[in-house]
Amino acid sequence: MRNVIIAGNWKMNKTFSEVEDFLDDFVDELEGTDHAGVEVVICPPALYLELASDYAQDSTFFTGAQDVSAHESGAYTGEISASMYSSMGITHCIIGHSERRKYHHEKDSLIHEKLQKLLAEEIVPIVCVGETLEEREAGITRNVILDQLKGVFEGISFNDPIVIAYEPVWAIGTGKTASPEQAQEIHAIIRQWVKAHVSPAAAENVPILYGGSMKPENIAELISQPDIDGGLIGGASLDAKKFIAMVKTAVEM
């Protein structure tokens, strides 16, 4: 049985005091919630990782970064390496988010390098894949996803924990959610790819999260699908009440 994962991607939001307020409220609520079988991950902006991981020490959530450098160290102004994260106890890291692909022109080959850096530091990568609206309307969603999987995961053994997030770009921050059937169809394609190209055991074990306007109102129908193992949540993870409500729904299912 795979654990369910509820991960919050805060993107570039919140001031320091807003982070403290969120964590005060959230940690209190989480403490009173038996969430065995449901892993909770919070991915704040890098500047707040230390604060979040301090709270995580006395709580039961994991702290994740939103991106990592493909380089180890040196003259890469503004970048943060995987070894820096691991030296601070950061356990997870999102890579390949569509906003990185769009605004920073990240390609699958670069995401593959980032993936290797994270695995070398035993940080759990949360690898995002997803099609744009144009690609969906052109009927090439399946091929787009398969190309991304091949480009990012070629030669990766899956011996260490890896999380995949299916995030249809047209559903991110738009309020439009993929229907449970649409999401399940792509999750099954992803799992099938892992089965065929890595191993049946890897396919059985890999958590595949859905991301794209997931919220308290729609999480249950999405995560009740057989191949949807949780959510990568943007907007709705910024509100402690909404985020804890989503954790509680996952616990009840």
Q: What b/e string do you get for 147-160 counting C-beta neighbours within 10 Å, with b at 16 or more?
A: ebbebbbeebebee
Min dist CB 242 to ligand PEP, Å, is 11
186: its two tokens = 């792509």
With a CB cutoff of 8 Å and minimum separation 6, the contacts of 182 are 168
Alpha-carbon torsion, ordered 222, 247, 209, 54, to 10 deg: 170
218 binds ligand PEP (CB under 6 A): no
112 part of the active site = no
Report which of 74, 62, 193 is spatially closest to residue 122, judged by C-alpha positions: 62
Q: How far apart are CA 25 and CA 133, in angstroms?
A: 37
Q: Is 212 left (phi over 0), alpha (psi -120 to 50) or beta?
A: left
81 binds ligand PEP (CB under 6 A): no
197 part of the active site = no
> Which one from 39, 99, 135, 167 is the annotated catalytic residue?
167
CA-to-CA separations, 69 to 60, 92, 105, 163, in angstroms, rounded: 27, 14, 14, 18
Interface segment toward ligand PEP; rule CB under 6 A; list 77-85, 156-164, 183-191, 209-217: 209-217
Binding-site string for ligand PEP from residue 31 to residue 70, where x marks contact by CB under 6 A and - marks none: ----------------------------------------
Binding-site string for ligand PEP from residue 232 to residue 251, where x marks contact by CB under 6 A and - marks none: xxxxx---------------
Total site size for ligand PEP, rule CB under 6 A: 13
Min dist CB 13 to ligand PEP, Å, is 10
Q: How far apart are CA 35 and CA 250, in angstroms?
A: 8
Residue whose Cβ sits closest to ligand PEP: 234
> Which one from 35, 39, 92, 97 is the annotated catalytic residue?
97
Binder among 172, 209, 219, 240 for ligand PEP (CB under 6 A): 172
Interface segment toward ligand PEP; rule CB under 6 A; list 85-93, 196-204, 207-215, 220-228: 207-215
Binding-site string for ligand PEP from residue 119 to residue 158, where x marks contact by CB under 6 A and - marks none: ----------------------------------------
Name the packing angle between helices 16-31 and 49-57 (round to 10°). Answer: 20
Q: Which is nearer to ligand PEP, 19 or 214 (CB)?
A: 214
The angle subtended at Cα 211 by Cα 208 and Cα 214, nearest 5°, is 125
230 binds ligand PEP (CB under 6 A): no
Q: How far apart are CA 173 and CA 140, in angstroms?
A: 22
102 binds ligand PEP (CB under 6 A): no
**Positions marked catalytic:** 97, 167
Q: What are the residues binding ligand PEP (CB under 6 A)?
A: 9, 167, 172-173, 211-214, 232-236
